[in-house]
Structure 1
Amino acid sequence: MSEWAPKRFWKTTTVDAVEGGFAVQLDGRGVKTPAKTPLVVPTRGLADAIAAEWEAQEDKVDPATMPFTRTSNSALDKVTLQHAAVADMLAAYGDSDLLCYRADHPEELVDRQAAGWDPLLAWAAQDLDAPLAARTGVIHAPQDPEALENLRAQVHAQTPFQLAAFHDLVAMSGSLVVAFAVARGRLDAQDGWELSRIDELWNEEQWGADEEATETANYKQGEFLHAARFHALASEGVKG
């Protein structure tokens, strides 16, 4: 038996300015989230991306092909309701940021990490007012509390829509600094993704690629690149 999916029931898909932002309308009726919250988003660009997903649906509606709708639903139904908890969880990555834990050998990997990650830590120290110290090995060593508090404040300053995307930028890369660098335009999303995978790419070069690991990495890459695009659209004209 095939999995049930709702059929397309509308003819026209439009975007309209409404109180609080922009709404996607299907035959004049606003789209709602799974929790029945009106799907009102903060920017026209984000609404246009959502509308394009709905317009692309043919006979049956396939949520798997609607990432902008999905992330917007998450922003409204989840992040808005627990913004502080989500922000605290993401800010905690600053104390164990991927970029701060370095190999001690071989020399080529040590040099590759330094070349890719040192400029980002320097950027974080200046632009985020958060100097983080690199160390060798994987044993946790606390970072400067003031730097962590500065990072925490900047995570909390994001809107629910920004934070919904920022969550995936952090979780998929393992780095708060990489996430901020992509969100602030310091890094192209693809470059940010590749810098977060220096260790994995090194191992692939030495031992070859594992099919399952590659499949997982490809999925995470797609989520990371989508999150970067979503964050950019949600940030049009918005500080954060």
Structure 2
Amino acid sequence: MSEWKAKRFWKTVNVVPSGTGYGIRLDDRPVRTPAKSELIVPSEALAQAIALEWDDQGEIVNPLSMPMTRSANAAIDKVTAQHAEVADLVAAYGDADLLCYRADGPASLVKRQAETWDPLLDWAADRFGARLLPVSGVMHSPQNPKALMVLTQNVREMDAFTLTAFHDLVGLSGSLVIGFAALYNYADPVVLWGWSRVDETWQEEQWGVDEEARELAEHKLGEFEHAKRFHDLAIK
């Protein structure tokens, strides 16, 4: 038996004001999330990006070609309903932030980590008043609870759409600080992604490139860039 596939039924796609946000109409039908809520987003720019994804569909609907729609669905169906749990889950990365776990050798890697990651920790300390401290080795070393609470509160204050993007920025990079740096435009997303891969880049320089690993990293970079763009469109 062949797998059922959704077919395009609409001719026109339009963005319409709806309450305090914007919805998308397929002819006269509102786009709805998988949980059947009307898909209402906070900005016209994001609504237009989602509308373009629907307008670009061919005869068969391909959800994989609709990343903005999928992220909006997640914000409405999942993050809105579990905001506190998602916020605390993401904020927990601060207690084991990638930027705080440093190699104890060789010297070239230690130097590169310090030169790349120390400025990010300094920026976070200045921006939020929360200093995370680096340690040598991979054993967990708890961070200052007061610093963690400050960072956690900043995450808890995010709206559902920002938190959806932030969840991916942090999860993909392994760093709460890099996630914040992406949101606040500390550096270009591609640059930030490269900084999250200091260890991997150093290993490639020593032993050569693993093509499968490189392909996976490129895929994750695309997801990281998407999360940043989703956030930026949502706040326009």
Please indicate, yes or no, whether the TM-score normalized by the shorter chain is above 0.5: yes
1:159 Cα offset (Å): 0.6
Q: Deviations over 1:94-137 (max 9, x none)?
A: 01100011112112111111111111000000002111111111
What TM-score, normalized to structure 1? 0.95
1:61 aligned residue: 61
Partners of 2:25 and 2:179 lie apart in 1 by 32
1:34 aligned residue: 34
What TM-score, normalized to structure 2? 0.97
1:157-172 correspondence to structure 2 within 5 Å: 157-172=157-172
The one-letter amino acid paired with 1:191 is V
Partners of 1:130 and 1:105 lie apart in 2 by 27
1:205 aligned residue: 205
1:183-194 correspondence to structure 2 within 5 Å: 183-194=183-194
Indicate the SS of the match to 2:82: helix
1:5 aligned residue: 5
1:49 Cα offset (Å): 0.8
Which segment drifts farther, 76-85 or 206-215? 206-215
1:134 aligned residue: 134
1:64 Cα offset (Å): 0.3
Partners of 2:199 and 2:28 lie apart in 1 by 50
Partners of 1:204 and 1:36 lie apart in 2 by 46
2:116 aligned residue: 116
Partners of 2:202 and 2:135 lie apart in 1 by 19
Partners of 1:187 and 1:47 lie apart in 2 by 26
1:51-130 correspondence to structure 2 within 5 Å: 51-130=51-130
The one-letter amino acid paired with 2:145 is P
1:232 Cα offset (Å): 1.2
1:74 Cα offset (Å): 0.5
Indicate the SS of the match to 1:110: helix
Structure 1: stretches of 5+ with no match in the other structure? none
% same residue:
56
1:2 Cα offset (Å): 5.5
Change (3 A) 1:181 1:21: same
Which segment drifts farther, 210-219 or 151-160? 210-219
* Structure 1 segments of 4+ aligned residues over 6 angstroms from their partners: none
Indicate the SS of the match to 2:22: strand
Superposed CA RMSD: 1.1
Indicate the SS of the match to 1:81: coil
Which segment drifts farther, 102-111 or 76-85? 102-111
How many residues align structurally? Answer: 236
Structure 2: stretches of 5+ with no match in the other structure? none
The one-letter amino acid paired with 1:68 is M
1:215 aligned residue: 215
Partners of 1:4 and 1:87 lie apart in 2 by 36
The one-letter amino acid paired with 1:171 is G
1:234 Cα offset (Å): 1.6
The answer on 1:44 being equivalent to 2:48 is no
1:215 Cα offset (Å): 2.4
1:182 aligned residue: 182
